[in-house]
Amino acid sequence: MTDHVADLEPMPTDWRRCLAVVAHPDDLEYGAAGAIAAWTAAGHEVHYLLVTRGEAGIDGMPPEQAERVRELEQRSSAAVVGVDEVEFLGYQDGVIEESLDLRRDLARAIRRHQPELLLTLNHHDTWGPGAWNTPDHQAVGRAVLAAAGDAGNRWIFPELVEEGFAPWNGVRWIAVAGSPFPSHAVDVGLTLDKAIASLAEHRAYIEGLGDHDPVEYASDLLRRFAAGTADRFGGRPAVSFELYNR
């Protein structure tokens, strides 16, 4: 006997621009990049905004070196899935708070890019039973959900209007990757190879995790994730999202 698990809906496709906002280099590559590759191949525009450069992510490398290495790895990994524009806000890795400064920075970026779709990483306390999420992911994901509204309201952060950023109330959805409560999915059958190549670009980071070959590591992990989601998406390898409507 198997537990009943609800099927995942296909993600909406009637949008032009997506802004993906995450805490660290590699956050988008642990799954979401397969969906991003499918979107860019279909003509959607996707931009990346990284809150930090992930400088605290490699135990054997000091932050001032790691931030340079990881920025380059993130830019390469974005290019593999058809994303040319990668921006960094430069917050300190590991100690991000869901602050008004962060919400203002995100609202500014949303007004500038005018996306219909926002994408972020799991903001919930856990990844699932027994797996605690990190504070940076929680803070950034929650700030992204808040900033979707902030971007549309001229009276929140009025200084942004003075800077020349008019309100953008066109965000229709916020998709959360890696959520323990997924509702939607994207078929990655044709883009899994690109997703694997994209994660493998985080070479210094993956090598820092232990004695891994980056391509083998990325392939094992992403094939397993995609197959795990297939059970709920008509047997197709897929990446899941929790979708919030606005």
Which span sits near Zn ion by CB under 5 A: 9-17, 20-28, 69-77, 184-192? 20-28
Print the binding letters for residues 201-240 with Zn ion: x by CB under 5 A, - otherwise.
Answer: ----------------------------------------
Which span sits near Zn ion by CB under 5 A: 25-33, 107-115, 174-182, 217-225? 25-33
Kindly tell me which of 11 and 50 has the beta carbon lying closer to Zn ion: 50
Kindly tell me which of 40 and 120 has the beta carbon lying closer to Zn ion: 120
CB of 194 to Zn ion, least distance (A): 20
Q: Which of 96, 99, 133, 116 is nearest to 12 (CA)?
A: 116
End-to-end CA separation in angstroms for the chain: 38
CB of 52 to Zn ion, least distance (A): 9
Three-state secondary structure readout of the chain: CCCCCCCCEECCCCCCEEEEEECCCCCCCCCHHHHHHHHHHCCCEEEEEECCCCCCCCCCCCHHHHHHHHHHHHHHHHHHCCCCCEEECCCCCCCCCCCHHHHHHHHHHHHHHCCCEEEEECCCCEEECCEECCHHHHHHHHHHHHHHHHHHCCCCCHHHHHCCCCCCCCCCEEEEECCCCCCEEEECCCCHHHHHHHHHCCHHHHHHCCCCCHHHHHHHHHHHHHHHHHCCCCCCCEEEEEEEEC
Residue nearest to Zn ion (CB): 24
CB of 41 to Zn ion, least distance (A): 25
Kindly tell me which of 24 and 111 has the beta carbon lying closer to Zn ion: 24
Which span sits near Zn ion by CB under 5 A: 27-35, 82-90, 192-200, 207-215? 27-35
Indicate whether 111 belongs to the interface with Zn ion (CB under 5 A).
Answer: no
Indicate whether 27 belongs to the interface with Zn ion (CB under 5 A).
Answer: yes
Kindly tell me which of 126 and 153 has the beta carbon lying closer to Zn ion: 126
**Nearest 5°: phi and psi at 128?**
160, -175
Q: Which of 24, 53, 113, 123 binds Zn ion (CB under 5 A)?
A: 24
The answer for residues whose C-beta is within 8 angstroms of residue 132's C-beta and 6 or more apart is 125, 126
Kindly tell me which of 8 and 83 has the beta carbon lying closer to Zn ion: 83
Angle, CA of 88, 113 and 110, to the nearest 5°? 75
Size of the site for Zn ion (CB under 5 A): 2
CB of 203 to Zn ion, least distance (A): 17
Which span sits near Zn ion by CB under 5 A: 22-30, 153-161, 175-183, 225-233? 22-30
State the residues that interact with Zn ion by CB under 5 A: 24, 27
